[in-house]
Amino acid sequence: MSTYDETTLARVALTWLAEPGTRSVYALVTEVGPVAALDLLLDGGAPQQELRDSVAARSQAGDARAIAAEALERGERLGARVIVPDDDEWPASVEQLRTLALADARRRVDRETAPPLCFWVRGPLPLAETLDRSVAVVGARAATPYGLHVARDLGYGLADRDWTVVSGGAFGIDAAAHRGALSAGGRTVAVLACGVDRPYPMGNTALFDRIADSGLLVSEWPPEAEPLRPRFLIRNRVIAAGTKGTVLVEAAARSGATQTTRRALALDKPAMVVPGPVTSAMSVGTHEFLREEPKARLVTGLAQVLEEVGRIGELAPVPRGPQRPTDLIDDDARAIVEVMPRRGTIGVDDLAGRAGLAVRTVLRKLSLLEELALVVRRGDGYALVTAPGARRAAHHDDVAGGSTRP
């Protein structure tokens, strides 16, 4: 028999009576507690007619308390545990969903975004601690090789830097991010839209088994719950709220992954987007997100993701080309190098005339250029020092760029 207390049983029953995220149910639980809230709903006392109708319809399918007790017993046999807000494992970050307000929330899934009442968890790690330093990596199911490569690299890099990788366990970007984290020997969490005993998609069964062994499978729905389409959108709010930031790797024009990223923005969390080829249908959603959301941040790799979510303010290195010797000299010295002949020598007076500089300035800069091994003195003149193979490259640059240098 289940050893869970009446409060936990009531929360499980409430989640069965009304889909997770229902604000009126959450408000009732906050006001009178889960046990009294369950009694009130079962007695037909829901505050809204829509909720009363929903509870009545569900109650015809069975007794809520009995179904919750069966689910708890099934979870125990499965090795899953139920976590409620009073537990040490409860992730405080999901309580931010209390204030989540989405613009133009016409759909039910955009209005009903309250915090969870409970979580079902499989895996050895403590949930709150695991999510405390986590990043969500989400994107298209029908991902391209480019997107899979990026997601796998991000998953590996984040896990290697001791960040937890969170995603939804789906095909494509989700699975690539999970596998990248597992390859690094790091932590990963799959937030599911069905029971933690029900691998969906079935093709990822082996992946879910690996995650359950070393990471966490998490769901708001009890064991055996079906992966209904609206539930994927409902669970996305948990991915956004439970992590420090969300990275969108690939998304088509209509993608649930962009919904997760919008929720991160609405919660004032970093919402990061990886750009893709402008010719790819799988990058249409990511590019539109960047155009529509001024607060979204374009990222091209691990360093930039860490810059957005890191607590110490670690800055990503600015991409630069290879450093050249001439990067170390000032404008006058660079002008001298530019006007020197590619072959042969030139005297100081002629060099001063070509560069438009005083002779004393030219002499001073030539000494610096000699120290840097950019020029060499030969007799009464100076010549450029050309590395092996550089003469041919310099000639090609002159021709390609239309140079008029002597």
Closest CA to 232 of 198, 268, 260, 205: 260
Q: What is the model's pLDDT at position 406?
A: 36
Contact 241, 263 (CB under 8 A): yes
Distance CA 195, CA 223 (A): 4
Low-confidence stretches of the chain (pLDDT beneath 70): 1-3, 311-326, 387-406
Residue indicated by tokens 């950019």: 374
Distance CA 248, CA 236 (A): 13
Distance CA 210, CA 188 (A): 10
- Structure tokens of 89? 């494992």
Side-chain-facing half-sphere of 386: CA atoms under 13 Å: 16
Contact 248, 273 (CB under 8 A): yes
Contact 165, 191 (CB under 8 A): no
Contact 184, 210 (CB under 8 A): no
Helix (H) or strand (E) holding 41: helix 34-42
Closest CA to 128 of 71, 78, 189: 189
Q: What is the model's pLDDT at position 74?
A: 96
Name the 3-class secondary structure at 360.
helix
Contact 232, 193 (CB under 8 A): yes
Domains in the chain (CATH in brackets) are 1-70 (no CATH), 79-309 (3.40.50.450), 325-401 (1.10.10.10)
Contact 88, 127 (CB under 8 A): no
Residues 6 or more apart in contact with residue 190 via CB below 8 angstroms = 166, 167, 168, 169, 174, 178, 208, 211, 215, 216, 217, 218
Distance CA 5, CA 33 (A): 14
C-alpha pair distances (Å), 105 with each of 110, 111, 235, 263: 5, 6, 17, 12
Closest CA to 341 of 372, 381, 369, 371: 381
Name the 3-class secondary structure at 152.
helix
What type of residue sits at position 101?
Answer: A
Q: What is the model's pLDDT at position 199?
A: 86
Q: What is the model's pLDDT at position 137?
A: 98
What type of residue sits at position 31?
Answer: E
Angle at 353 between CA 349 and CA 354, to 5 degrees: 120
Contact 374, 384 (CB under 8 A): yes
DSSP, res 217: E
Q: What is the model's pLDDT at position 389?
A: 40
Distance CA 350, CA 378 (A): 15
Burial class (CB in 10 A: 0-12, 13-18, 19+), 98: middle
Q: What is the model's pLDDT at position 394?
A: 37
Contact 178, 205 (CB under 8 A): no
Q: What is the model's pLDDT at position 400?
A: 38
